[in-house]
Amino acid sequence: MSAADLDVRRVALYKHGVGFFERAGEIPAGQSAILQFKAEEMDDVLKSLTVEQTGGEGVSAVRYDSSDPLSKRLEVFPFRLGTAMQLSAILDQFKGAEIELQVGGGPLTGSIVSARQLPPTEDNSGAEQLVLLSGGALRTVDPAAASQIRFTDPKIQQQFSDYLATLSRSRNTDRRTVTIESQGGASRVAAGYITPTPIWKSSYRLVFDGQDRPMLEGWAIVDNTSGEDWDGVTLSLVSGLPVSFISRLYEPRYLQRPVIQLAQDRAWTPKVHGGALEEMPQAEMALAEPPPPPPPAPTPAPAMMAKAADSRAFRQQVMGGVAGASLADEGSFRRNEITSTVAATAVKAELGDLFEYRIDHPVTIRKSESAMLPFFRERVPARRLYIYDESNGSQHPLNAAEITNAAGATLDGGAITVYDAGAYAGEALVETIKAGDKRLISYAVDLGTRITTAFDSDSKLQQEFHFRRGVMTTKTAVRETKTFTIRNVDKTAKTIILEHSVRPGYELIDAKPAEKTATAYRFEVPVEADSTKKFAIVEERMFDQQLSISNMPYEQLMTWVRNKELSEAGRQKLEQIAELKRRIAETQQEEQRVNQRVQEMNEDQNRLRNNISTLRSVAGQTEKVNEYAELLAAHETELVGMRDRQAELRRQADEVQRELNGLIETMEF
């Protein structure tokens, strides 16, 4: 049965690169349906093929050409047919097989003993000789003299035919045959499958013709690359992106298994037994206990048992086609009927997150041709607008239209060509529009409007102060203002859509947008004819700052005390902390001066001691030594007072620091 007997009845094209095809036809009793596919289509066919049958006893199997290379497919045959191989070389591979030859004297039957090409002579070049065992005697025959040679064994004859069929199919490297085998009498078969196809494309025409609502036309562009005609098919166009992937089901996979060597028993060698040195009494002989029995074979691990069970289950599935079936009931498999999930009468239908446009008349598209098919034509609500986006780098807005989908059907995204007053006005792109949703399209530059911008970001305000456990938290607001100056020189009023980028962390202060997208605010600004209008967008961003009072210098703390945004209660509490920090700072400065004086006096004492030690050994220097000794004693008295002052300053600083720490720990505002 040829592929044309299962005609293409229905085609559904998707947006993600596959198409669903449904074929149907009558299969006479005892025949099969044959489908032809490209090699690259087989993975999707094997993944998606469904078969419904009415009448007969069901589908017994679906067979298809292997993707193994020709050399591997020919390995199953016990002979080879080479290029330009002599007849004798072919027959010699079938030694022992019985053949029947039609020769001049009638049929001759015998078993092949050998076949060879004779050495060339002057009278005969290239002659061949076939040796047969016939009737118990050897006979030589010239195989070229036989008008017909046939193997008497049907199995060998079938192998020869299969070999030639395999060679024939291998010449068509791009086509693969799928055979649907049916049991019983005549039946009607419907087969459905998906294959890779070009996506269908949509384009629109928006026509402003003076009516309240413009006309929107939708056209689908469909390409037939299937290699056969679509004649009067039911065509569906499905928008959306269902999950789809390629699974390598067509390519045979071979699993490499480990090679385990069998254990070999060692041959026993003769053993020489020595004679006894002393004979023991029978009563004292201890009977040797028999050796313990060998341990039982280990129980298979749970994982191994599970694998074995899985293997048995897998074999049952492969043998019978149904989980739990066995070889005995292999022929009992019957495929359940599959019902369509798409309503046959709907022109437009929601399919979950997909949407289907079903062409309401039979469609004919010849192979290797494309077609444009109208799938939408209605008047839709639309507003004329002008849209401005500063990031475009132009001072002119774009002519735009806001389209509302009031048709009750999802509109697929695509290109839109705009016509205004019977003339071409521009082109635009639009995303998919759900029913009731709206989209902006821009299709031309408006040279009658000019827009400039000015930016200001000088304003900083301290809005909040909080103090707790030594940490001061502040919130600082930074305001930025962008002013748009719109100049309309045309004689008609316009509505300008200003697009302003959404920036993370910034919030709008005054102006409220008409709508917001994922990346921009849209503000509608009406502008009168031949006029200029300014529109300001103010944004504010908050910055949080945390400061530790314990480590903050006195001068920095005083800048916060003088901040006008700080409350009076907060200012008084910070002044208390600042006063204690001032006292600590003064005490530390005084301590530094005392430490400096102590260091100088220690250096003077060391110098005086060195001088006294040197002058004692010099005659006539007694008076100078006594003078240095008096100075050393006076320095020592002053040094004792300085050290007392050091201790007092440290005590004062520690006392004020404890007071400061306690105040910081408990103060809140």
The first and second tokens of residue 122, run together, are 């002057």
> What pLDDT was estimated at residue 482?
92
> What pLDDT was estimated at residue 306?
40
Lowest mean pLDDT among 101-110, 290-299, 312-321, 343-352: 312-321
> What pLDDT was estimated at residue 657?
82
Dump the DSSP string for 186-234: -EEEEEEEEEE-PPPEEEEEEEE-SSSS-EEEEEEEEEE-SSS-EEEEE
> What pLDDT was estimated at residue 219?
95
Give the residues across from 243 on adjacent strands. Answer: none
Mean pLDDT score of the chain, rounded to an integer? 80
Confidence category of residue 561, pLDDT binned at 50, 70, 90 = confident
> What pLDDT was estimated at residue 278?
55
Q: What is the CA radius of gyration of the chain?
A: 51
**Residue 622 in this model has a pLDDT that exceeds 80:** no
Q: What residue type is assigned to position 156 of the chain?
A: I
> What pLDDT was estimated at residue 537?
93
Q: Where are the domains of the chain?
A: 70-117+128-176, 448-548, 554-666
Spatial separation of the C-alpha atoms in residues 434 and 404, rounded to whole Å: 9
Per residue in 93-125, pLDDT (tens digit) is: 999 999 999 888 789 999 999 999 888 777 666
Where b means 16+ CB within 10 Å and e means fewer, 202-221 reads bbbbbbbeeeeebbbbbbbe
Confidence category of residue 348, pLDDT binned at 50, 70, 90 = low
For the chain, give me the number of helices (H) and strands (E)?
A: 8, 31
Per residue in 19-28, pLDDT (tens digit) is: 999 999 888 8
> What pLDDT was estimated at residue 323?
34
Lowest mean pLDDT among 13-17, 113-117, 180-184, 476-480: 180-184
Lowest mean pLDDT among 371-380, 403-412, 596-605: 596-605
Lowest mean pLDDT among 4-13, 116-125, 290-299, 527-536: 290-299
CB 6 within 8 A of CB 33: yes
Lowest mean pLDDT among 334-343, 383-392, 465-474, 593-602: 334-343
> What pLDDT was estimated at residue 208?
94
Selected residue with higher pLDDT from 264 and 443: 443
Lowest mean pLDDT among 143-157, 257-271, 433-447, 597-611: 257-271
Match 């040279």 to its residue by tokens: 447
Spatial separation of the C-alpha atoms in residues 613 and 616, rounded to whole Å: 6
Confidence category of residue 460, pLDDT binned at 50, 70, 90 = low
Confidence category of residue 332, pLDDT binned at 50, 70, 90 = very low
Percent of the chain's residues with pLDDT above 90 = 32
Confidence category of residue 500, pLDDT binned at 50, 70, 90 = very high
**Residue 248 in this model has a pLDDT that exceeds 50:** yes
Lowest mean pLDDT among 181-190, 456-465, 507-516: 456-465
CATH of the domain spanning 70-117+128-176, picked from 2.60.260.20, 2.30.30.100, 1.10.3720.10, 3.40.228.10: 2.30.30.100
> What pLDDT was estimated at residue 279?
56
Per residue in 202-216, pLDDT (tens digit) is: 999 999 998 999 999
> What pLDDT was estimated at residue 442?
94
For residue 91, give every residue at least 6 positions away whose Cβ sits within 8 Å of its Cβ, in sequence order, or none: 99, 112, 115, 130, 143, 149
> What pLDDT was estimated at residue 508?
92
Selected residue with higher pLDDT from 491 and 284: 491
> What pLDDT was estimated at residue 262?
79
> What pLDDT was estimated at residue 475?
80
Average pLDDT for 377-395: 92
Best mean pLDDT range from 331-335, 393-397, 661-665: 393-397
> What pLDDT was estimated at residue 236?
93
**Residue 335 in this model has a pLDDT that exceeds 70:** no
Per residue in 217-237, pLDDT (tens digit) is: 999 999 999 888 999 999 999
> What pLDDT was estimated at residue 553?
81
**Residue 291 in this model has a pLDDT that exceeds 70:** no
Confidence category of residue 269, pLDDT binned at 50, 70, 90 = low
**Residue 312 in this model has a pLDDT that exceeds 70:** no
Lowest mean pLDDT among 148-157, 269-278, 316-325, 646-655: 316-325
Per residue in 148-177, pLDDT (tens digit) is: 999 999 999 999 888 888 887 777 666 788
For residue 507, count CB atoms less than 10 angstroms from its CB and return exposed for 0-12, middle for 13-18, buried for 19 or more: exposed
Confidence category of residue 447, pLDDT binned at 50, 70, 90 = very high
Task: Tell me the backbone φ, ψ of residue 302, rounded to 5 degrees.
Answer: -55, -40
CB 182 within 8 A of CB 27: yes
Percent of the chain's residues with pLDDT above 70 = 83
CATH number, span 554-666: 1.10.287
pTM: 0.60
CB 451 within 8 A of CB 524: no
